[in-house]
């Protein structure tokens, strides 16, 4: 398994990977309408745009992209970051690829400079992120108005009272 930074040419394959994962893995937690709306917001042009303001990585099995994930600033802040767009193809789930992607993101400069990292997590992925050391933001385990569970990890104790 090789994890590398996303290249512009990867956007089509990454967008298709996300669509397949949402339609297969997330369907048990979300409506078809919700999933299709997410898919429309993660088209190749959107992936390329996201890669302009994040560090976007892909996990490859040979030449095939089987997973992805990104890290970037939390609302432009220098001391907080967010993880985004973490997906693994359904047939590759359960093999440690998601863990490898998160570990790669946690070695990135956006992670290392941050005192707090937030994940706008799908209901589907919440347990996975909790196993990776992320906890409910403000203790809230229910999805918000966007259907996401806000999780966070503190790298420095002094950041605990700064979280929005």
- Condensed to tens digits (0 to 9), the pLDDT of residues 2-13 reads 999 999 999 999
**How many Cβ atoms sit within 10 Å of the Cβ of residue 124?**
16
**pLDDT band at residue 77 under the 50/70/90 scheme:** confident
pLDDT number for residue 151:
98
- Output the pTM of the full model: 0.92
Alpha carbon distance 135, 142 (integer Å):
12
Instruction: Write down the residue that tokens 């990776």 correspond to.
Output: 132
Domain spans of the chain, in order of start: 2-162
> Hey, what CATH class is 2-162 in?
alpha beta
């Amino acid at each position: 398994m090789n994890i590398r930074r996303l290249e512009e040419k990867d956007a089509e394959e990454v967008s298709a990977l996300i669509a397949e994962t949402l339609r297969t893995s997330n369907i048990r937690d979300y409506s078809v309408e919700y999933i299709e709306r997410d898919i429309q917001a993660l088209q190749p042009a959107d992936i390329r745009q996201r890669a302009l303001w994040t560090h976007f990585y892909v996990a490859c099995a040979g030449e095939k992209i089987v997973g992805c994930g990104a890290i970037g600033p939390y609302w432009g802040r220098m001391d907080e970051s967010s993880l985004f767009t973490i997906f693994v193809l359904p047939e590759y789930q359960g093999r440690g690829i998601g863990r490898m992607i998160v570990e790669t993101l946690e070695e990135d400069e956006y992670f290392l400079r941050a005192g707090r990292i937030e994940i706008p997590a799908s209901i589907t992925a919440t347990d996975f992120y909790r196993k990776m050391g992320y906890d409910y933001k403000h203790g809230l385990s229910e999805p918000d108005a966007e259907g996401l569970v806000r999780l966070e990890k503190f790298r420095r104790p002094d950041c605990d009272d700064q979280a929005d």
